[in-house]
């Protein structure tokens, strides 16, 4: 599998509250990872299964080697970065993850509406991008009770380059703008802490909600 250093040499830029970005994979690593995911044992050649109720086009990572690689990413490679960037989490061991590929193209998703993730921390890595549009917009961290309140002003827009990764708390609201042309493919990893429900009403999440402060 792809070898990643422990991340001390990466510089995660702060995009807004609870959202950090860094160049993460080389073009070659993006290609190998996408190939490995598309050719997971058991894939029937149709990778367009349904990873969750929002991304109609994508593929879930089910191969044990790929899943072990993600575990290492979450619990070793990114451990220090996550501890530093997201203080106050009720633990640092991610006992499970839901990981999937999501694709934007004229034959796949065209956009994605405003939502929060079923995760404590999300890692979103762009594997290829020749798209115009399909930008990722963050509208602010909110607890469950304030998830429908007004967006942060200004909102935060991210145009991915292949290899870029963004790391954010699950309750940082986001959506994807209309695709104008081309295609973009990302690997999205929803990391879940051991023994803590990913309930956006829990105290750790509420503490990050500006309306509750
Ligand atoms: Zn709140």
What's the pLDDT tens digit per position in 151-178?
Answer: 999 999 999 999 999 999 999 999 999 9
The residue-averaged pLDDT of 175-192 equals 96
**Ligand 1 center–CA 37 separation, angstroms:** 37
Q: How far is the CA of 211 from the centre of ligand 1 (A)?
A: 5
**Per-residue pLDDT reduced to its tens digit, 48-97:** 555 665 565 678 888 899 999 999 999 999 999 999 999 888 888 999 99
Q: What CATH number has the domain spanning 15-206?
A: 2.60.120.620
The ranges assigned to domains in the chain are: 15-206
pLDDT tens digits for 8-31?
Answer: 568 899 999 999 999 999 999 999
What is the whole-number distance in angstroms between the Cα of residue 17 and the centre of ligand 1?
15
Give the 3-state secondary structure of residue 59.
Answer: strand
Q: How far is the CA of 75 from the centre of ligand 1 (A)?
A: 28
* pTM score: 0.92
Give the distance (Å) from ligand 1 centre to CA of residue 8. Answer: 33
Q: Which residues surround ligand 1, an ion (CB under 5 A)?
A: 143, 146, 209, 211-212
Paired with 124 in beta bridges are 166, 188
Query: Burial level of 197, CB count in 10 A (0-12/13-18/19+)?
Result: exposed
């Amino acid at each position: 599998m792809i070898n990643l250093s422990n991340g001390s040499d990466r510089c995660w830029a702060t995009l807004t509250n609870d959202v950090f970005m860094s160049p993460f994979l080389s073009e070659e690593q993006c290609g190998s990872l996408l190939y490995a995911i598309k050719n997971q044992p058991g894939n029937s050649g149709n990778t367009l299964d349904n990873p969750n109720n929002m991304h109609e086009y994508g593929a879930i990572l089910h191969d044990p080697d790929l899943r072990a690689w993600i575990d290492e990413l979450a619990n070793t490679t990114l451990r220090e970065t996550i501890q530093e960037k997201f203080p106050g989490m009720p633990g640092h061991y991610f006992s499970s993850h839901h990981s999937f590929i999501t694709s934007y193209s004229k034959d796949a998703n065209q956009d994605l509406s405003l939502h929060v993730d079923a995760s404590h921390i999300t890692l979103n890595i762009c594997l290829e991008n020749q798209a115009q549009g399909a930008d990722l917009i963050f509208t602010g961290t909110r607890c469950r009770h304030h998830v429908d309140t007004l967006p942060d002003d200004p909102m935060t827009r991210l145009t991915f380059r292949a290899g870029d990764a963004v790391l954010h708390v699950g309750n940082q609201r986001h959506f994807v703008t209309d695709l104008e042309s081309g295609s973009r493919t990302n690997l999205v990893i929803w990391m879940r802490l051991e023994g803590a429900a990913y309930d956006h009403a829990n105290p750790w999440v509420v503490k990050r909600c500006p309306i509750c402060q």
